[in-house]
Amino acid sequence: MLRFRRQYGNAPVSIKSLNTKQLEYFFEQLWKQTLNPIWVCKVVPDDFEMVSANEAAFRVDPNQKPGVLVSEVIRMGGHDNEILAGYYTCLETGDVVEFEQRPWVNGKEYLFRTLLVPIKNTQGRVTHIWGTAHNLTDFLDPQKELLAINEILEQRVKERTEQLNDALKKLEILSTTDELTGLANRRFLDENLTRAVLRVHRTKEPLAVLFIDIDDFKLFNDEFGHSIGDYCLKQVAATLLSLDRREDDVVARYGGEEFMILLPNCSSSDAMRIAEQVRHAVERLELNPDNTTNKPSHVTISVGVAVSGTLRFTSDELLKEADDALYAAKAAGRNQCILREL
């Protein structure tokens, strides 16, 4: 969209001190020598007719011959159609009109700042318009270059923002994941436990916690070495994770050889059923990493199950109950699940 600016007031330079002969010479030289196109056209019904154009104007657009209508010059020369509106503004307001235009001539894009000046008769009616165009084409490339640089910068900012968001996501995952097993870590579990307890206070749905500890893991480590111990922890973690459960359940490594499973909206009987399912699955695990042991070895787990009732409780109280149940399971001979209800 072209924007036309009307200029008011007198020209800043006075040429009134020149006599007629000097003026004639001045205008002739200006007409011939200037690198800026200058042209004059006559106001005709519904259009403007070219009267004269200087060499510079012809060089840009050879269509500007005397007698040709401005609308035709615009159409033939690849100029913006809205330029005609500039002529009408000049005619109707009697003021100087200034605008930018970017014609494509002979496959080249030009940038002109065009000035249309009304010539009035003694009654003040605009009879002619003379135009001059200041050639700013040399500024076009730097302008384009700036736009291109701007585009590159915007693209880089976009890429960096995406990288930063990815890094933040990775950081978020890292800060909530246990490095060895890939399960949720204790921090993630604690946050979810706090939320789950608050939810129980609202909904009164039972909340279950399974506190899982590998039995005699010290002996396992001592027999097979720490790295096979790590392998065992990963296998147990994968087993806990693989059992089909609901989306808002959380399976976490609590620390060392301890794991915890959070089961929102889970009754005592369901919690015990799941605990037994987990215990059996771990018991069946054949731990024979890279055939480094001669025969498959096995581990068992003890599970302390705590389930909330109707009384208000804190997450610490629920964990304590699960810990007590786990202790009882160990004391009762290991490889079993014991339930405590709040």
Which residues contact ligand GTP by CB under 6 A?
A: 180, 213-218, 221, 226, 229-230, 233, 256-257, 330, 334
Least distance in angstroms from the C-beta of 341 to ligand GTP: 23
- Annotated active-site residue 154? The verdict is no
Distance of closest approach, residue 286 Cβ to ligand GTP, in angstroms: 18
* Nearest residue (CB) to ligand GTP, 79 versus 253: 253
Return the number of the residue (7 or 227) whose C-beta is nearest ligand GTP. Answer: 227
State which residue has the least CB distance to ligand GTP.
229
Closest to ligand GTP by CB, 169 or 218: 218
Q: Which is nearer to ligand GTP, 70 or 261 (CB)?
A: 261
Residue 290: CA count within 13 A, CB half-sphere: 5
Whole-angstrom Cα distance, residue 119 to residue 94?
8
Q: Which amino acid is at 151?
A: E
Give the Cα separation of 329 and 276 in Å (integer): 13
In the complex, least distance from residue 241 CB atom to ligand GTP, rounded to whole angstroms: 17
Other Cβ atoms closer than 10 A to 147: 10
CB of 231 to ligand GTP, least distance (A): 8
Closest distance between ligand GTP and the C-beta of residue 147, in Å? 57
Q: State which residue, 90 or 322, has the beta carbon closest to ligand GTP.
A: 322
Question: Of 172, 179, 257, 341, which one is the catalytic site residue?
Answer: 257
Output 95 or 178, the one with its CB closest to ligand GTP.
Answer: 178
Q: How far is the CB of 302 from ligand GTP (least distance, A)?
A: 7
The set of residues, in sequence order, having a beta carbon less than 8 Å from that of 277 and lying 6+ positions away, is 243
Spell out where 136-288 has E strands: 207-214, 250-255, 258-264
Which string of DSSP letters, residue by residue, matches 47-105? Answer: EEEEEEE-HHHHHH-TT--TT-BHHHHHHHHT--TTHHHHHHHHHHH-SEEEEEE--EE
Distance separating alpha carbons of residues 234 and 193, to the nearest angstrom: 23
| Residues 192/262, Cβ–Cβ less than 8 Å | yes
Widest Cα–Cα separation across the chain = 125
- In the complex, the smallest distance separating the C-beta of residue 234 from ligand GTP, rounded to whole angstroms, is 10
Can you tell me which residue has the tokens 């002996």?
219
Phi-psi region of 42 (alpha: psi -120 to 50; beta: other; left: phi over 0): beta
* C-alpha 216: how far from chain center: 51
CB nearer ligand GTP, residue 38 or residue 278: 278
The torsion angle over the Cα atoms of residues 132, 133, 134 and 137, rounded to 10 degrees, is: -160
> Which of 197, 208, 193 lies closest to 272 in space, CA to CA?
208
Helix crossing, 315-331 with 186-203: angle to 10°? 110
Q: Which residues are catalytic?
A: 257
